[in-house]
Amino acid sequence: MSAPVPVPALVLEPRARRRIVAEILIVLGLSLGQSGVYAIVRLADKMTQAPLAGQTTTLNQSLAPNPVFDLVYQLLGIFFSLMPVALVLFLLTEPGRSAFRRIGFTFARPLRDFALGFVLAAVIGAGTLGVYAAGRALGITTALVPAALDTYWWTLPVLILSALRHAVLEEVIVVGYLFTRLRALGWSVPAMILTSALIRASYHLYQGIGPGIGNFLMGLLFGYAYYKTKRVMPLVIAHALVDIAGFVGFALFGSAIGIGD
């Protein structure tokens, strides 16, 4: 009996490849790629003004003096910043294939996802504090204020929502979506992980060079975890836990805690 003939790998036509590349550029241009460009320009601007060590980067600021309108603006900002996530989930949905299941953005494995999420959060949390301290000592990181909202009844819930927003936006787009599309283009796993990590680093550079390095390392770890598990949910959980600790912790205990988004 003759050996079975191997099935050739799917090869995209040039038009299909160009369409995927254009889609990736549009999605990134509307979301984290745009943030990365602005962050690089903001870093260059800051470096021309004064040493980074003497500057401060503030996250989660008040948007209006009136507490009612401040809350409205905060919620609107969170809602509309998640529109790129809705876009990529729409783009990844195919007949008979849910985008949520496709990238593992489901609660199908809650125990495993939360267990891995807590482990990743512990590693990233400790690493973030270490990189931040080293960056401040070397003068390549600005002082970071994770939360500068006025104290209202809604302050902590909004900070938690903001942390969840960052987690979902970043992990779904720069990991789940990007890996899916780059895999379709035939990219190797190391190339996908490296590209994802570089994009993640870019949009944190407004905080200084140190956070860029720290988030690049985080991107390598998260990219490898996604490659092994094919699930973005543990990354969302880990990212949310780190940001909630940073935002809420700073709001409650002040400058004793300082980590980035």
Per residue in 3-24, pLDDT tens?
444 434 457 898 999 999 999 9
pLDDT of residue 6: 43
Higher-pLDDT residue of 105, 258: 105
Q: What is the structure's pLDDT at 10? A: 59
Residues 31-40: tens digit of each pLDDT: 999 999 999 9
Give the per-residue pLDDT at 5.
44
Report the candidate in 153, 22, 163 with the shortest Cα–Cα distance to residue 82. 163
Q: What is the pLDDT of residues 142-183, one digit of tens each?
A: 999 999 998 999 999 999 999 999 999 999 999 999 999 999
Q: Are 127 and 115 in contact (CB under 8 A)?
A: no
Residue 7: strand, helix, or coil: coil
- Residues whose CB falls within 8 Å of the CB of residue 90, separated by 6 or more in sequence, listed in order: 99
Q: What confidence score (pLDDT) does residue 12 get?
A: 81
**What pLDDT, in 10s, does the model give residues 85-140?**
999 999 999 999 999 999 999 999 999 999 999 999 999 999 999 999 999 999 99
Q: Where are the alpha helices (DSSP H) in 50-154?
A: 67-81, 83-92, 99-103, 110-138
145: phi then psi, degrees, rounded to nearest 5:
-115, 100
What does the pLDDT read at residue 169?
98
* Residue 61 backbone phi and psi in degrees, to 5: -90, 160
Closest Cα partner for 144 from 217, 219, 250? 250
Of the chain, the percentage scoring pLDDT greater than 70 comes to 93
Residues 6+ apart with CB under 8 A from 63: 69, 70, 73, 74, 77
Answer yes or no: are the C-beta atoms of 210 and 134 closer than 8 Å: yes
Burial readout 207-222 (b: 16 or more C-beta within 10 A, e: otherwise)? bbbbbbbbbbbbbbbb
pTM of the model: 0.92
pLDDT-derived band at 257 (thresholds 50, 70, 90) equals very low
229 exposure class (CB count in 10 Å sphere: 0-12, 13-18, 19+): middle
